[in-house]
Amino acid sequence: MNITTILDVERVVVNAAPTSKKKTLEFLGNILCSKFEHLTPQLVTNFLCSREKLSSTAIGNGVALPHSRLKNINQAVAALVVLKNPIDFDTLDNQPVDIFFGLLVPENACEDHLQILAAVARLFNEPQNALHIRSLKTSQQVFDFACQALNHTEPGLKGTG
């Protein structure tokens, strides 16, 4: 998977300060909508919140994958946010979350959507990867690690951009 087709260093944030689930989804909405002139932070946040109401996107190890499909975008976009302090995110394991991989994909890109989520989930299924990301100090370091790790997680996965 060439993660750089959907993620760039400008959408990677380290030591972010949201203090609740809602504020974190708003933070992600702001970052994700920046790729598209026609999207507003509120619209993206609403989609992310609607998806969370279906079931938590937390996957364990302090990681969540908030995501949504939108009909008015033509390429996938991702954001990676590491919080300064973990927050309650209604997880099945009752553990707080501090790493968020946010994702928006075109409405008709179901296969790509699932492949991206699966690759990211495999990355974070290894607890040492989340621990390593937490130890990194800059957005560039987190971006570089994510690119290296995800580019090797699923080499056959095509980009959606």
List residues with catalytic annotation: 67
CA 68 to chain centre: 10
- Cβ-based neighbours of 29, under 8 Å, separated by 6 or more: 41, 42, 43, 44, 45, 46, 48
Residue 5's closest CA among 66, 102, 76? 76
d(CA 123, CA 120): 5
Helices 110-125 and 127-135 pack at an angle, to 10 degrees, of 80
Residue 78's closest CA among 99, 54, 49? 99
d(CA 82, CA 139): 9
